[in-house]
Structure 1
Amino acid sequence: MAMRARKIITGEELVVQAVRTQKAKLVVVAGDASANTMKKVTDKCQYYQVPCYMLATRYELGHAIGKDARVSIAITDSKLAESIQHLLTPNS
């Protein structure tokens, strides 16, 4: 649903750009992303204080949003990001 509502941005460069412009509310990176990609995205998220989670594989991440393999996605809707973060954070 979020993909159809255009509340998700995919692709390394577009995700990094969304973090820089403060559009990204939450970022998810595939656990099998390259070390360079992982560092680039997590460093940007840390600098701009955007929550970042490492989950699943690129294929599982892509399947979750109805696309082919995706290494990183950014959620741009604050309510959706809050709900996902609540589900991903233990003891909340």
Structure 2
Amino acid sequence: MNIDKILNLLGLAQRAGSLSSGDFIVEKSIKKKEPKLILLAADCASNNEKKYIQLAEIHHIPLRKIADKEALGRAIGKEVRVVVAVQDDGFAKALLKEIDQ
């Protein structure tokens, strides 16, 4: 897993308008089955981790844990982020390919 490449892809997806981030917004989009991929900070709280794993399983959305909260937020030009949802299929496939290597 090349974390720099993954974070760069996230930045591109953010500039393309293909990401949503933040607890409430991502949870809402998951319930609408919009995301193609959910990315969770590796250092998130265990209750957040359980909630998003459960939501991802229920709605059949792939979920991966990457980086830490600060790096995830910095990659998309925001402050600390615990969860990011990728809305675009192309970005989701590219990210999954890099993460799962």
Q: Distance in 1 between matches of 2:53 and 2:26?
A: 11
Match for 1:34 among 31, 35, 45?
A: 45
Is 2:21 aligned against 1:10? Answer: yes
Match of 2:73 in 1: 62
Match for 2:88 among 61, 77, 83?
A: 77
Q: Distance in 2 between matches of 1:60 and 1:74?
A: 15
Runs (5+) with no aligned partner, structure 2: 1-11
Percent identity over the alignment is 28
Considering fraction of residues, name the structure with more helix: 2
The one-character-per-residue Cα deviations of 1:66-92 (angstroms, maximum 9, x if unpaired) are: 1111000000001110110011113xx
Is 2:11 aligned against 1:23? Answer: no
Q: Distance in 2 between matches of 1:15 and 1:30?
A: 13
Runs (5+) with no aligned partner, structure 1: none
Greater relative contact order, per chain length (Cα 8 Å cut-off, separation 6+): 2
TM-score normalised to structure 2 length: 0.84
Q: Distance in 2 between matches of 1:14 and 1:39?
A: 17
Stretches of 4+ moved more than 3 A in 1?
none
Q: Any conservation in 2 of the 1:12–1:41 contact (CA below 8 Å)?
A: no
